Amino acid sequence: MKKIIFTEKAPAPIGPYNQAVLQNDTLYVSGQIAINPKSGNLEIDNLEKETHLVMKNLGAVLEAAGMDYSNIVKCSIFLSDMNSFGIINEIYGSYFEDNYPARETVEVACLPKNVNVEISCVAVAS
């Protein structure tokens, strides 16, 4: 059965979608950007802080579903500039202990609200 996941600890959707959908043991998390869930403001002036906020927003949605980063099996990373890959990759990697998820990273022409990075994931309950 499909269950909608929502938490106030992550940004509210800015369109016709949900933060995440849980189907059986699989969680599909919508792309997260660097919107501060408390203020509703974008935080994109510093790439390192932006990337950490994106990962924390993902973590908040995972937590709302009773999961954490270790449950992630697949991530999609969208960058506005592939030259930022090194910085984002290092920060992204710091959120995992081992057994990294599958992943693709692509550069796109434009992201919502002109952010630098957006990350979505699929997680499976253990």
β-strands 26-32, 2-5: how paired?
unpaired
Digit-coded pLDDT (tens) for 21-53: 999 999 999 999 999 999 999 999 999 999 999
DSSP secondary structure letter of residue 11? P
State the average pLDDT over residues 57-86.
98
Q: Is the pTM of this model over 0.95?
A: yes
Give the model's confidence band at 126: pLDDT under 50 very low, under 70 low, under 90 confident, else very high.
Answer: confident
Rg of the chain over CA atoms, in angstroms?
Answer: 14
Instruction: Please give the structure tokens belonging to residue 2.
Output: 């499909």
On the question of pLDDT at 1 being above 90, the answer is no
Digit-coded pLDDT (tens) for 81-98: 999 999 999 999 999 998
Asked if residue 22 lies in contact with residue 63, where contact means CB atoms within 8 angstroms, the answer is no
Contacts of 99 (CB under 8 A, 6+ apart): 70
Domains recognised in the chain with CATH numbers: 2-124 (3.30.1330.40)
